[in-house]
Structure formats: C-alpha cells, structure tokens
Chain A
Amino acid sequence: SQELEQSPQSLIVQEGKNLTINCTSSKTLYGLYWYKQKYGEGLIFLMMLQKGGEEKSHEKITAKLDEKKQQSSLHITASQPSHAGIYLCGADSRDQGAQKLVFGQGTRLTINP
C-alpha cells in the first residue's frame, strides 16, 4: 500500500523566514493534496497537484509536484503567525481499484514572533 513520509515532523521558524516541507511517496503520485489543520480542528484544503512539474501558489504558499521523484514540496515565504499549524499531505491511492486518500504523518509548524 502507498505510504507518504513528511519531513520534517516539526519545524520552528522565526516570523518572516521562509520554510519548506517535503512529502515523499512510496509509489507513483496520481494526485497530491496539501491540507492545513489547526490543532485538534478540521482540515483546510490548500492545494491539489495532479501533474508532474505542476506548481501552484496561494498567497505566500507554493506547492510543487515532482512526479519522477514521487515527491511534493510546500514552501512558505515570509512566514506569519497565521501559518502556524499542522500541514498534511495526502495522495490518491489506487490500491486494487479502490479510491482512497492516504496521508503523511503531518508537519507541525510553529512560528515564533
């Protein structure tokens, strides 16, 4: 079955600094999602990437999909306190024809003022 590994597991950065979170898949990526979760709350959809080389941006967050490396990265520029939370990558898994969204373990981001 497909597994996603996120790195780092936790990250503490000073406000205003840039940061990158990586998500590596054990199998080919057909669709990759990034979600943000405030501690103990629901998942907020950030972006969906479908094709190798695809890059999407929303405000100060940019996500890229490297299909050959089976990897996606999430980059935040000039971080702000509002960026704090848990970032989760999810991937469409095609195991035995069933539709399934598998998740990485999450990256806990803390922004220090």
Chain B
Amino acid sequence: EAQVTQNPRYLITVTGKKLTVTCSQNMNHEYMSWYRQDPGLGLRQIYYSMNVEVTDKGDVPEGYKVSRKEKRNFPLILESPSPNQTSLYFCASSLFRRKEVGFGYGYTFGSGTRLTVV
C-alpha cells in the first residue's frame, strides 16, 4: 500500500531533550515536506526536500533540522525542543513537479505526530 509513515504518533517530552520524528514513504517520491498545524494558524511548512541531499527552509524552520540521505526517509529533528514547538506535525510526499510536465500529482500525508513539550 502506498503510504507515508510517521513515527511516533504521540510524544510527550521535556524541554531541551533532543528528539527525532521519522517519516518514510514507499512511493519513490522525490519531494517531501514537513508541516506543523496549530489552532488558528493552520498548516505551515517547516522544511522541504526536492530530492536526496537537497533540503530548504519553509515558513517556520527555526528550531528544526532535517536530513535527506535516502529518497524514502525525511526525519525531522528537534535539537532542543521548547514548549512553543508543541504541535501536530505532518509529513507529506509528492512527485516533484516540473514546469514541462505540469501539475498533475497529489500530495500524500502521513497520519500525524502529536508532540507535547513540557
């Protein structure tokens, strides 16, 4: 089954304790992205990756790191989590759109990771 798998689904941690949220897709997608969802603010992009070893900042990258060493994996790293990073996180993947091909591919989202930093 084609899917994006995030782990863990729920996580409660303490301020300053490094953590990693994993994301894996089995669709050979080039593009992967992380979003956070907060009440009243909607979904905001944290980081994205166009392909292996190619990553870039989204709208709210502060306090986060990512890596893309393999095509299928795109982990989100919080080196020193703070309470303002308490949120619902989503990973998404898609085929990369090229202008000549046009837009024709959807995004597949993971089930989400609910992170609480105390």
Interface residues of A (CB under 8 A from B): 30-31, 33, 35, 40-43, 45, 48, 50, 88, 90, 92, 98-106
Contacts and interface: CB of A to CB of B under 8 A. Distances in A.
B43 A103 contact: yes
B42 A105 contact: yes
A84 to B, nearest CB: 18
A100 B104 contact: no
Given A30-B103, A99-B31, 19 more contacts: A35-B109, A40-B112, A40-B114, A42-B110, A42-B112, A48-B106, A50-B103, A90-B43, A92-B97, A92-B103, A99-B48, A99-B50, A99-B96, A100-B45, A101-B107, A103-B42, A104-B42, A105-B42, A106-B42
B108 interface: yes
Contacts of B50: 99
B62 interface: no
A90 B103 CA distance: 13
B contact residues, range: 20 to 34
A41 B112 contact: yes
B97 to A, nearest CB: 6
A105 B42 CA distance: 5
**Which of B42, B45, B97 has the most C-beta atoms of chain A within 10 angstroms of its own C-beta?**
B42
Contacts of B96: 99
Contacts of A33: 106-107
B50 to A, nearest CB: 7
Tell me which of A30, A31, A45 has the highest count of chain B C-beta atoms within 10 A of its own C-beta: A31
A106 B104 CA distance: 23
B58 A100 contact: yes
Given A92-B97, A101-B107, A43 B90 contact: yes
